[in-house]
Amino acid sequence: MLSSSHVIEIVQTGVEAAAVIAFAMSGLMAAARKQLDVVGAFVVAGLTAFGGGTLRDILLDRRPFFWVEHHAWLWVLLALCSAAMLFMSSRHIEPTERAMQWPDALGLGLFTATGTQLALAQDMPLLVAVLLGVVTATFGGVLRDIVCNEIPSLFRDRRPYAVCAFIGGWVAVGAHAAGAAELTVLLLAAVVTSALRMGSLWLGFTLPGWRQ
């Protein structure tokens, strides 16, 4: 019979795997807009999928990295990029981007939850744990946009993204402080973060901008 720690580890792996697919597709859309070749598409998709988690692992001195420990996902990423190059054309980009907003919101919640929880497990200060959750969930997209020679959308489009992750991280902290089980903390933070992001997309809510 599996111990509770093994169950949590399996769930975290599954959660991160689902988020990896969602974020990799986001990177593929950016590569398609820039008309990158298969190597460029693989690099951009990989940065989007693994960049935030890798930075988190570096800051937490956590080894091996997620994509090293679960290297089968590199093959999945390579297959996705190759298939996209073969079958996707420019007319597919805009509809696919709209459809990917919802899986991307799911990935945001999942990565926020796992990043915050891993930091809490290493007894990081609460604000640091929350910020590591935000980094895990958002930094891959920042790297994606930098490599594609764009100002990161996280910093300019005014749609709540990092803010949703920040709130979700504090939900994880609160549930952890209340003595909730690790699986409950993970699910609660992921659901709240994803729901906030989906709600903002549904309502078209944007954050205040600079006065003109």
Per residue in 17-31, pLDDT (tens digit) is 777 777 888 888 888
Amino acid at 67: W
User: Bigger pLDDT: 169 or 106?
Assistant: 169
| pLDDT tens-digit series, residues 5-17 | 676 667 666 666 7
User: Bigger pLDDT: 43 or 96?
Assistant: 43
Rounding to the nearest 10 degrees, give the CA dihedral for residues 22, 27, 32, 37.
-120
CB 143 within 8 A of CB 153: no
C-alpha closest to that of 59 among 133, 144, 1: 133
Q: For the stretch 75-108, what's the b/e string if a residue is b when 16 or more beta carbons lie within 10 angstroms of its beta carbon?
A: eebeebbeebbeeeeeeeeeeebeebeebbbbbb
Cα separation, 107 vs 104, whole angstroms: 5
Q: How far is CA 142 from CA 35, 126, 145, 154, 184, in A?
A: 19, 24, 5, 7, 29
Cα separation, 40 vs 31, whole angstroms: 7
- pTM to 2 decimals? 0.82
| pLDDT tens-digit series, residues 50-89 | 888 899 989 988 888 878 887 888 888 888 788 877 776 6
pLDDT, residue 96, reads 55
Q: Interior CA angle at 45 toward 43 and 48, to 5°?
A: 105
pLDDT, residue 212, reads 65
User: Which pLDDT band, with edges at 50, 70 and 90, does 175 fall under?
Assistant: very high
